[in-house]
A and B are shown apart, each in its own frame.
Chain A
Amino acid sequence: MKELVIISGKGGTGKTSISAAFASLASNSVICDADVDAANLHLLLAPQPFEHEDFFGGSLAVINQQQCIECGTCAELCTFQAISEALVIDPIACEGCGVCVDFCPEGAIDFPVQKCGETFFSDTRFGPMSHARLGIAEENSGKLVSVIRKKARQYAEERRASMILTDGPPGIGCPVIASITGATAVLIIVETSLASLHDLKRVNELAEHFKLPVMVCINKCDVDEQIRSSIEAFTTDKSIEIVGRIPFHHDVTRAMVEGKTILERSVDPDLEKAIRSSWSNTMRVLDRLGTPQPVQLNFITNKE
């Protein structure tokens, strides 16, 4: 089972628009939206959920006022300053470590597990899709990403799908690490701006850290020729293959406004050609790469 994860470091470079266009070109694939923080792929693919589960992340400490003797041990031990002098727990600051629960001499602190979001498995016009919704101001997005990737993988194995296409989150932190570990390869979408080039370097370093093969697609490649050359110099230096160069075009936004993937609308022929060739080049590189060994993701496994 091969899995391609589309990431970018910097947000807004075109990950989701390109992921959706790729989904429209892929056959026998499972689609996965791993940007659970601000998921957007469903706006283009209109998934119809046939499976739905609550996602329980961590637990949250709650002081049982009847049993509390106001000794202040909890506030003293909390390293997250989540417990005020008046012994009130701030649910947003609470990290869910449980230290206060374990050290309260009266056993007066409850630790209910929290519903942090929902996971969905859906039908779309381009195949099955694993996705999620993280609750407002909730934590554990990395863990939620791991859950939906695992569901995508199970489904793909059962149905003998040829690949998993995953739309990843921006950044280089916990949800990104949870999105890319154990994938076959990552495709980094970069745009021709200094900020995007800067972020490409950091996210590429992250992929190197996890020993993942990297491809690059330059989006909005004609906005700045000079920065494009700098991106090309960087990829040459790192022996990274550029699988596509997609021109800037308002048709991308127009398709989005219509709730369509780019190729479902009649678009500028150069744009269409660039997307099709990016996809075929990506597949060519992916075919060359071996199937990775499944890895144990330590920080996602539940305690039990």
Chain B
Amino acid sequence: MKIAVASGKGGTGKTTIATNLAASISGTATLLDCDVEEPNAHLFLKPEFIRSNPVDVFVPAIDSEKCNGCRACVDICRFNALTAVGSQVLVFPELCHSCRGCQLVCPEQAVTAQSRTIGWIESAQRNDLLFTHGRMRVGEAMAPPLINAVKQEAPQKGHIIIDAPPGTSCPVITTIKTCDFVLLVTEPTPFGLHDLKLAAAVVKSLAIPCGIVLNRSDIGDESVIRFAAENDLEILLKLQYDVEIARSYANGLLLVEQDEHYLTIFQNLLRRIETQLETSVGVL
């Protein structure tokens, strides 16, 4: 079962929920950190990485001896990754989406495949928890190929918790599609509500069941609770603002290892997700 932890707005507590939920599971579980631009889950797990692999993507290279300057490659590229300067073709690797159109279209076989490292996936084991994250090379624009590489580390069975990046566009969609459930973490403020609405619409467009975690539930107003009720979204967990949570978070500590009380809270959260999934499967 794959559970993604997402939110439109950043800083609502995704990583806190994902790491503690994963650490609360008894037996083998997997945590994947798909926020490859700014991965943070490892700061809480502090695991020793046992494996690090580069993730390479296709980029074209132009064999200038074979190139006849026809510009077919430049014309086919929708991403402006190729430009002709006089009779010479220049490649801008950061703009390439690896569609291979240039290679397919070249009549002279002058476009050859080169690979480029866009980031690394690193894996670790911490007690019974398998952990993998992606770390995008600074200066890279596109996260999705690296996110897909992280997701491929998911085992076939067992509980898989996925920490998603913030926002509502490509990186989030790449992360949550193929998940069984999305946990939307928000806070009861106008920013939290606004971005929850966007995130819920994205999840709905992918037809994935979801539920809400209301973090710092006592700091703002009632509008998230109202929105959830009006849209049949279940609030699966409310966590009040607590200076101790803020300090634990600041210092990269896991709540479930600090306090038995939180262990029970996160185990109950998993149970509620499972119940919700069972009942929705029953309906289908």
Contact = CB atoms under 8 A, between A and B. Distances in A.
A38 to B, nearest CB: 4
A49 interface: no
Interface in A52-103: 58-59, 77, 79-80, 92, 95-99, 102-103
Interface stretch (B63-71, B97-105, B232-240, B262-270): B97-105
Contacts of B20: none
Contact of B95 (A137, A170, A298): A298
Interface stretch (A7-15, A21-29, A271-279): A7-15
Interface in B122-156: 136, 138-143
B250 A223 contact: yes
29 contacts: A10-B10, A12-B12, A12-B166, A37-B168, A38-B194, A40-B190, A79-B100, A92-B177, A98-B99, A102-B105, A134-B168, A134-B169, A136-B168, A142-B141, A169-B167, A172-B136, A173-B141, A192-B250, A198-B40, A209-B138, A223-B247, A224-B250, A256-B220, A259-B190, A298-B92, A299-B80, A299-B92, A299-B141, A303-B78
B189 interface: yes
Contacts of B38: 9-10, 170-172, 198-199, 202-203
Q: Which of B11, B80, B94, B201 is the most central at the interface, judged by chain A CB atoms within 10 Å of its CB?
A: B11
Nearest to A139: B170
Contacts of B175: none
Interface string A97-113: 11100110000000000
B211 interface: no
Interface of A: 8-13, 16, 37-38, 40, 43, 58-59, 77, 79-80, 92, 95-99, 102-103, 134, 136-139, 141-142, 169-177, 192-195, 198-199, 202-203, 205-206, 209, 223-224, 226-227, 250, 253, 256-257, 259, 298-299, 301, 303
A253 B218 CA distance: 11
Contacts of A205: 138
Given A11-B10, A172-B37, A193-B249, A103 B97 contact: no
Q: Which of A9, A59, A79, A103 is the most central at the interface, judged by chain B CB atoms within 10 Å of its CB?
A: A79
B250 A257 contact: no
B189 A257 contact: yes
Contact of B79 (A177, A199, A203, A299): A299
Nearest to A227: B250
Q: Is the interface of B mostly helix, strand, loop or mixed?
A: loop
Given A99-B99, A299-B80, A253 B250 contact: no
B78 A13 contact: no
Nearest to B201: A136
A291 B142 CA distance: 29
B206 interface: yes
